[in-house]
Amino acid sequence: MDTLHKNYKSFQLAIIIPFFNEEKRISINSFTLFCNEHPDVLLLLVNDGSTDKTQEILEGIKNTFPDSIEIIKLDKNHGKGNAVRAGMEKAFGSKIPYTAYLDADLSAPFEEIIKLYELLIAKNYDAVFGSRLKKLGSTIQRSLFRHLTGRMIATIIDSKFKIGCYDTQCSAKVFKTTLLQPVTDSSFYTKWFFDIEIILRIKRKNQGFKVQEIPLDRWEHKPGSKINTFSIFVVAKEIFTLFNKY
């Protein structure tokens, strides 16, 4: 379907998924099953300047579900956060009521974002965030290093901003789309902490921002992550940037 003539009123939820050189981690079967079961959801697949076969794979998925998928192709790599922001600009302009985002490897599977979305609708929250908090009955597969590093970073950041969020970096979040305008106004300052920038930008304009955080039932660390031990130096620099800009 020509995107200029797409009837966005048929969609209740837009899910943004950023991709950068993800050809080996894209689960085509997961996209096929989801699109078949959720025709009222628009998938905004953002190709963030990939140099491998990511675009070819995304176009193959879109050709199967032309009404349910749009591809946003960025001319160069802008970073995950600004790829998500590009998707938010599209969702905001399309006036789709609710917007979410997930990682390309579906470490949090589609059913988790639908669970968050349904809770947001039922409780009339402004946003619902997933967290990778282990609990009885859940399947959260995460390395000890990532868990400990994440807790340390969360503690440092919360000491400054008092967000009160257990897992700010979990890429499974749903928002009322109307809240996203301050997010789309300008590019993010950081690469790793765009999730926090989203929260801070929304809170600046919406003091009564009503958000709930709930533990996911499933989250699985997938091979091929671009984060490694040496990323801690970048993280330290970006925490400094975050503190200076906000």
Q: What local confidence, expressed as pLDDT, does residue 2 receive? A: 47
In whole angstroms, how far apart are CA 96 and each of 7, 9, 89, 104, 207? Answer: 10, 7, 11, 21, 23
The model's pLDDT over 36-58, given as tens digits with 9 standing for 90+, comes to: 999 999 999 999 999 999 999 99
Q: Say which CATH number the domain at 154 has.
A: 3.90.550.10
Q: What local confidence, expressed as pLDDT, does residue 154 receive? A: 84
Report yes or no on whether pTM surpasses 0.85.
Answer: yes
**Residue 125 sits in which domain range?**
3-245
pLDDT value at 5 more than 90: no
Q: Nearest to residue 134, comparing CAs of 167, 169, 173?
A: 167
Confidence of residue 225 (pLDDT cuts 50, 70, 90): low
How many domains does the chain divide into?
Answer: 1
Q: What local confidence, expressed as pLDDT, does residue 197 receive? A: 97
d(Cα 59, Cα 229) in Å, to the nearest integer?
34
Confidence of residue 1 (pLDDT cuts 50, 70, 90): very low
The model's pLDDT over 169-188, given as tens digits with 9 standing for 90+, comes to: 899 999 999 999 999 999 99
Q: What local confidence, expressed as pLDDT, does residue 136 receive? A: 85
pLDDT value at 67 more than 80: yes
Sorted by sequence, the CB contacts under 8 Å of residue 171 that are 6+ apart come out as: 101, 102, 103, 107, 108, 195
The model's pLDDT over 94-151, given as tens digits with 9 standing for 90+, comes to: 999 999 999 999 999 999 999 999 999 999 999 999 999 888 888 888 777 777 787 8
